[in-house]
Amino acid sequence: MINEYYKNVQDCNTEDFNEDLIFIKARDDLKKYIDNICKSIEIIDGIEYIGSRIESDESTIKNRSFNGVEWMSLTDSRLLQIFIKFKILKDDGSYTEIEKMLFYPKLVDNYYFLLNGNKYFPILQMVDEFSYNMGTTDVIIKSTLMPLRVMRSPLSFSDDNENNYTGYVFKTKLFKVDTNVLIYLLNKFSIVDVLRIFGVNEHELLISKPNQAIDSFTTFNLNKHTSIYVKTDKINQHLDLLATLIDLLRDENIDTINKTENFWLLKLGSCFTNNSSKFIEKAEKVLLSFSRLMDVVTQHSMRIHPHHKKDTFNLLIFIIKNFNKLVSRDNNDIRNKRLRMHEYLTYSLVNRFSNVCYRMLNKNTPLTESNRMEFFSSLSPGFIVKNLKTSELLRYNNSVNCLDLFNSSLKVTQNGPSAITNGDFRISHRKIHPSFVGVFSLVFASQSHPGETLMLTPMAKLKDTGWFFSDPDPDFQKI
C-alpha cells in the first residue's frame, strides 16, 4: 500500500526535464558567430565579406570504406568544415575572391567533442548580459577588444551669487587614462549638438567670455576668460551636464577654443602624451581604438535599441543617460546574465582578426594587396582546433557519454574569456543569489573554486537561447 501511495504521488507530481535547456548547445547557431566575426574585418578598406557555409559531411574530410560500407576510426577527430569567403582589392584596382577553410569540432550526441581519440566536453559560460557595475561609481560595458569603463564622481561648485550646487562629473577610462567624456563627444559633435543630445536647448545654456549678468540666467565664472550662463529654472535639471562642463572648461579660454583648429583633437592627444608634436597623431589612434570597441560581435550580444549600439559614441551617450539604472543592476542576478558556448569557443579567431585589424589601421602607408592578405596567409585549417585544445573551458574527460547528463550538459562556469578571471573572483560571486532558486543546484560546488562552476537543474526554464529571460529591459529599447 505504501509503495502504491509513493507511486501515485510521483505520478501526480512529475518533474518535467526542460529539453530546450538540455539541448541548448545543439541550438547555438555557430554560423551566426562566424559571420559576425568575419564582418568585423570589413572595417579594413578593400576587404568585403561574402559569406560562410558549414559542411557537416565528414566523408569529405576522410573517406574510408570496406566492401561498400563507410567507416571511421575511433581515434579520428569528429570535425565540421567552415568555409569563409572574402573579396579582396588587388593593387591594380580589380578584385579577387579568397576562400579559407577552418576545422571546427563537431558536437557529438549534444555533449562532447572527439579530438584525436579523446573526448572533451565544452561547458556553458555565464557572462554579464552586456554590462556590470563597480559600486555606485563605475559602469563597465563588455566588448570583444577591451571594456568601456564610465565613471562618475561628485563635484561641488557655486555660482556668482555663492549658491552651492553638486553634480556628477562623467569620465571614461581607456588605456588607463581618465578622460572627461565630453572630450570624446566633441571630437564627433559640435557643442550645440552635445547640449541637444542631453536635452539642453542652445538658448538655455551659453558658454562665452565673462559679461554682465543676463536676465533669468545664472552665471558660473570658471576663470577670467570663460563663463557658463544657465537658465535659472533649468539648473537642477542639468546638474550633471553642468558639472561635467565645468570640469572640462575650468582651465580653458573660450576664445582659444573657438579660434584653434582641431582644438578637441589636440586636447584628447594631450591626455595621452606630453609631446605636443604628437598630440594629433596620438589622438587619432585613441579615437580609432575607441571607435573599434563597438564591433559587430559586441553589437550582436547587446540587447539595447539599435540606435544606442550604432557606434561607440552613441553607446557612451546611452551609458551616461542610463547611468543610474545601469549602476543599480545586480551583478549576481541571473536576469542580467546570459549563457554562451560557440561565442567563447571561437574567441581565438576573434582575437587574431582583431590584432591584424589593429596593425592595419595603424599603418602610416597605404594598404596593399599583400597587407590585406595578411589576414589569411597564415590562417591554417587547424587554427581554431589547436587553440581549443589548450582552453580551460574545454574539459578533458574520456568517460563522457550521452548518459552523463549533469557533467556533460548542465555545467556552467563564470570563468574564461571576457568573464570573471581567477584574480577577479570576489566573495560576492560565491554567494547563492535568490535568482538561483529553481535554476542552479544549491548544493553543487566545485572543489577547487566553489562558486565559479555551477550546475543547472534540468527543470530550469530558459526562454531564449543564451538568456534566462527572453524580454530585454524595456527602458533600454527607447531612443
Question: So what's the pLDDT on residue 66?
Answer: 56
pLDDT in tens, the chain (479 residues): 566 765 665 566 556 777 777 777 777 788 988 998 888 888 888 889 999 999 988 777 766 655 566 656 666 788 899 999 999 988 888 899 999 999 999 988 777 888 887 888 888 888 888 888 888 889 998 887 778 899 999 999 998 888 999 999 999 988 888 999 999 999 999 999 999 999 998 888 988 888 877 888 889 998 889 999 999 988 999 999 999 999 999 998 988 888 888 999 999 999 988 888 888 988 988 888 888 888 777 888 788 888 998 999 999 999 999 999 999 988 888 888 888 888 888 888 888 888 888 888 777 778 888 888 888 888 899 899 888 877 766 666 655 555 566 666 788 888 766 555 444 556 666 778 888 888 888 877 666 666 678 888 888 777 665 676 667 777 777 76
**Closest to 30 measured CA to CA, from 472, 474, 465:** 465
Set of cell numbers at residue 42: 570589413
d(CA 57, CA 444): 39
Question: Beta strands 411-413 and 124-128: pairing type?
Answer: parallel
- Can you name the residues that pair with 230 across neighbouring β-strands? 205, 218
Backbone angles phi, psi at 97, to 5 degrees: -105, 140
Q: Are 106 and 78 in contact (CB under 8 A)?
A: yes
Set of cell numbers at residue 147: 571594456
Count of CB atoms within 10 A of residue 419's CB? 19
Question: Beta strands 205-208 and 69-70: pairing type?
Answer: unpaired
Strands of the 79-89 sheet, one edge to the other: 47-55, 79-89, 95-105
Three-state DSSP at 366 gives coil
Residues 184/189/194/198 CA torsion (nearest 10 deg)? -80
Question: So what's the pLDDT on residue 64?
Answer: 61
d(CA 364, CA 277): 16
In the numeric block, the cell 561635467 is attached to 244
CATH class of 2-129+326-477: alpha beta
In the numeric block, the cell 571630437 is attached to 187
Set of cell numbers at residue 417: 574569456
The pTM (predicted TM-score) of the whole model is 0.82
Q: DSSP 3-state helix, strand, coil percentages of the chain (rounded to 5)?
A: 35, 25, 40
d(CA 267, CA 403): 62
Q: Are 310 and 304 in contact (CB under 8 A)?
A: no
CA angle 223–224–229, rounded 5-degree value: 65
d(CA 309, CA 395): 35
Give Cα 228 distance to the centre of its chain: 37
Question: So what's the pLDDT on residue 465?
Answer: 59
**Closest to 315 measured CA to CA, from 334, 330, 295:** 295
Q: Which amino acid is at 408?
A: S
Question: So what's the pLDDT on residue 437?
Answer: 84
Question: So what's the pLDDT on residue 422?
Answer: 46
Q: Within a 13 Å sphere around the CA of 304, how many CA atoms are in the beta-carbon half?
A: 25
All CATH 3.90.1100.10 domain ranges of the chain, comma separated, are: 2-129+326-477
DSSP 35-58: HHHHHGGGGSTTEEEEEEEEE--G
**Closest to 125 measured CA to CA, from 464, 460, 411, 431:** 411
